[in-house]
Amino acid sequence: MKAGLQAYVDRINAGDADGVTALFAPDATIEDPVGSPIKHGPEIAAWFRDTVAFNTRIYPAAPIRGSHGAEAALAFDVEFTPPGARRMRIRSVDVCTFDEQGRITSLRGFWGPSDMEVIPDEA
């Protein structure tokens, strides 16, 4: 599970949307942020194509955490530039479940409005 989440970070940071999508089971779900509509199937691939297009970078804030079950968590800052907007930062914790093959079956992103900020332009 830890290796799977590290691959998630590495592939996003490398701009590899197909590689990130391949980490997910065919019936996987994404709820990011928690409380938003759940994404399935082709929506997940589109989500990661946008992620890469927004020049997204993930910066882990702590080591990836495993569990005695089929779940692991990643606390991180994510920076990205949405179309027509300034670069943003979100402080998040993703909790993922995994199947027997090590694929992600669900991803839930825990963050809210107070966890978002615009990154100031460098002088």
Residues tagged active-site: 8, 32
Tokens of 108: 């839930």
- If one counts every other C-beta atom within 10 angstroms of the C-beta of residue 87, the result is 16
Task: Answer for the pair 97, 106: CB distance below 8 angstroms, yes or no.
Answer: yes
DSSP state of 82: -
Task: Answer for the pair 29, 107: CB distance below 8 angstroms, yes or no.
Answer: yes
Phi and psi of 70, rounded to 5°?
-105, 35
Residue 63, preceding peptide bond in cis (omega within 30° of 0):
no
